[in-house]
Amino acid sequence: MKTIFITGASAGIGKSTAQIFVSRGWQVVATMRSPEKETELTKNGNILVLPLDVTKPDTIDSAVKAAIDRFGNIDVLVNNAGFYTIGALESFSDEDIVRQIDTNLVGLIRVTKAVLPYMRQRRSGKIVNLSSIAGRMTVPIQSLYHATKWGVEGFTEALQFELKPFGIDVALVEPGVINTDFYGRSMNCVLPNNEYKDYVTAVRDFLVKSGGEGSDPEIIGETIFKIAESRKPKLRYLIGKSTFIVPIHKILPRSLYMYIVNKIMAR
């Protein structure tokens, strides 16, 4: 049986992906910061639920070792852990900045580095990095989040060169708006008490409303399963609602694009 290792599997895309894979005969390593709170995934004997915080290297090493000890190998790594910070740049503390980048980008790099030796040894494996349409275009008050997702895009592209000689594939999944708690529990909104306040509030309210109207997270899990089963996966998979904005962003003059986005999001 093949094994998939997923970060951020406590809810949303990560949990849905774990459920899809185990239902199709895979062994699943579902990692999360607080596994003691998980009651559903632990009921299946082919799912190993482990503690992992991508900002703590010791938990990464322990989880990878436990996965190898239990299942013998890791065929697919899904880097899904992350959260969403919105607000005006001036409003962020240094802790806000470091936490966002450490979780969404540096943490992803740490987990990839920990898993790679096992894949390289076997000359086989797939690494699927969860990016976003936010890694392809920009919208207001999300400068930190965009910085991390553009970083994930560049890291993954470069890694494709690096790992191809070893038979390891890499892919980016770039969701549009998905109906998960990403716009609730996983969103950190820093609301300033200054002249940015009305702008940030308007965009935040738009994002929360849009999240409730987003695509089902299962479509992302299905896309990841398609990548896992593909002999020659593509580098990028753009999927879900609102992805139409990516090609529009590429062809419109910047000033017109900014005008339209502000009208829609901050009206």
- Residues annotated as catalytic (active site), given as ranges: 131, 145, 149
Burial of residue 30, with CB atoms counted within 10 A of its CB: 0-12 exposed, 13-18 middle, 19 or more buried? buried
8 Å CB contact between 179 and 160: no
Cβ neighbors of 42 (< 8 A, separation 6 or more) are 35, 49
Q: Which two tokens stand for residue 82?
A: 């992350």
Rounded distance between C-alpha atoms, residue 159 and residue 161, angstroms: 5
Distance CA 187, CA 83 (A): 6
SS3 215: strand
DSSP annotation of 140 reads T
Other beta carbons within 10 angstroms of residue 154's beta carbon come to 12
Tokens 């070893």 sit at which residue?
166
Are the C-beta atoms of 40 and 50 separated by less than 8 Å? Answer: no
- Planar angle of CA 255, 83, 211, nearest 5 degrees: 65
